[in-house]
Amino acid sequence: MDNDEGGQYRRPDGTSRTRGAVISRGLVSISTWSGRWILVFVGAVLVGLLVREIWPILLPVVFALIVTTVLEPPARALESRLRMPPALAAVTVLVGSFAALIGLGFALAPVVAGQAGDIVSDASAGLQQLQDWVQSTDFITRDQIDAAIEGIQDRLSSSGDQIASGVLTGVGAVTNAVVTFVVTLVLIFFFLKDGRRFLPWTARLAGPRAGDHLVAVLGRSWSTLGGYIRTQALVSLIDAVFIGIGLLIVGVPLAVPLAILTFIGGFIPIVGAFVAGTLAVLVALVSDGLTGALIVLGIVLAVQQLEGNVLSPWLQSKSMQLHPVVVLLSVTLGGTLFGIVGAFLAVPVAAVAAVVLRYLDEQVTRVSTDLLIVERPDRHDEVEDRAEHR
């Protein structure tokens, strides 16, 4: 548009519009989009409140869906190759997976159980050495230790009611965990048995127009979630191998059971890695002294930093099609808001959200491209080149 002397903008077709009309139209557009974004924000808040209210029901559903994505391929293979009924295939896979885990536990039990007592005793001895070292140096004086113990005793004596309520809360948490575990197992069975019927049912319920979009999004989300547990297992295995090799190089005894504990702890975000690393450092303190303990501490911290900041984001970004920065920020936000469970579920939730956003972007691009071709047929070749480049 060209600006003439009268303060008007002249279009290529010769028509003109005043500056006031242009500014007014811009303000209307800004107000309209601001109102829409406010509605989107309010909708997101309402969804968050709804999730919080139904969380006890939603949590086992999410866990069951994640596990089902891993167990579904062998269940479908049993149905197609051995002609098993869906219910029998679901039971076989579910029982078989538990049997495999139990068998692996029994296979590793002689290695771990035979030295579990040594790990406990060495860890206790390491704690005692730390206590002796603290008391023998000026880092913390005896009076400071006595004052801290006295303060803890006073705190305990004045907080009896809070401790009792905390114990009851802990008992309730354990009960909820058991109930969640049982419900998750039942849901896994039904998802394996009847999960294939969900997409056709969703398509019929939503209608032909919205049903096709829902089926496409849900199918992509299912494929994305399928690699989550496999990736988590691979990350835990790499952590266990690296830390185990480091312990063997330093000459720390019990390296194999400590590496196994590291692998198991990898499935428990934050807490698992901390506990496994602490045990390794305490055992090294007893067997190799302070120098060996510091070396092991450096190895554990280096592996955990490599896993948390490089390896895990990179592998999960590959399997779940997320940028490593998105994975890292998702885990940080989930852990901050919802603790361990939030850190564990942050990546699959972010992956599903990314799938939805990518699908919406594809639909917007397709519709806008079709409209542009209709309005400007002469730019058809240019639009095709841009679509191929995108």
114-145 pLDDT tens trace: 555 555 565 566 556 666 655 566 555 556 65
**183 found inside a domain:** yes
Q: How far apart are CA 314 and CA 33, in angstroms?
A: 36
pLDDT tens string 256-299: 777 877 887 776 655 667 777 777 877 777 777 778 778 888 88
Interacting residues of 118 by C-beta distance below 8 A, sequence separation 6+? 253, 254
Q: How far is CA 303 from the centre of its chain?
A: 19
Confidence of residue 229 (pLDDT cuts 50, 70, 90): confident
- Give how far Cα 230 sits from Cα of 29, 46, 142, 247, 373, Å: 47, 33, 50, 26, 44
Number of domains in the chain: 2
3-class DSSP state for residue 11?
Answer: coil
Same domain for 373 and 333 = yes
Same domain for 74 and 30 = no
Q: What is the pLDDT of residue 310?
A: 75
3-class DSSP state for residue 202?
Answer: helix
**138 found inside a domain:** no
> What is the side-by-side order of every strand in the sheet holding 8-10?
2-3, 8-10, 16-18
Kindly state the tokens that stand for 78: 């049993």
Same domain for 182 and 278 = yes
Q: How far apart are CA 220 and CA 360, in angstroms?
A: 13
Same domain for 181 and 40 = no
**98 found inside a domain:** yes
pLDDT tens string 349-366: 888 888 888 888 888 888
Same domain for 34 and 62 = no
3-class DSSP state for residue 15?
Answer: coil
**365 found inside a domain:** yes
Same domain for 367 and 297 = yes
Residue among 65, 94, 64, 63 at smallest CA distance from 78? 94
Same domain for 121 and 45 = no
What are the helix (H) ranges across the chain? 19-53, 55-82, 86-136, 142-158, 160-194, 198-250, 255-265, 271-306, 312-320, 324-375, 380-389
Q: What is the pLDDT of residue 164?
A: 46
**297 found inside a domain:** yes
Same domain for 89 and 15 = no
Predicted model pTM:
0.62
Same domain for 211 and 67 = yes
**186 found inside a domain:** yes
Q: How far apart are CA 37 and CA 173, in angstroms?
A: 38
Q: How far is CA 16 from the centre of its chain?
A: 56
Residue among 226, 237, 232, 227 at smallest CA distance from 319? 227
**Residue 11: domain span:** 1-53
**DSSP state letters, 223-270:** HHHHHHHHHHHHHHHHHHHHHHHHHHHHT-TTHHHHHHHHHHHTTSTT
**147 found inside a domain:** no
**145 found inside a domain:** no
Q: What is the pLDDT of residue 168?
A: 46
Same domain for 28 and 117 = no
Same domain for 102 and 5 = no
Q: How far is CA 386 from the centre of its chain?
A: 35
Same domain for 11 and 90 = no
Q: How far is CA 59 from the centre of its chain?
A: 13
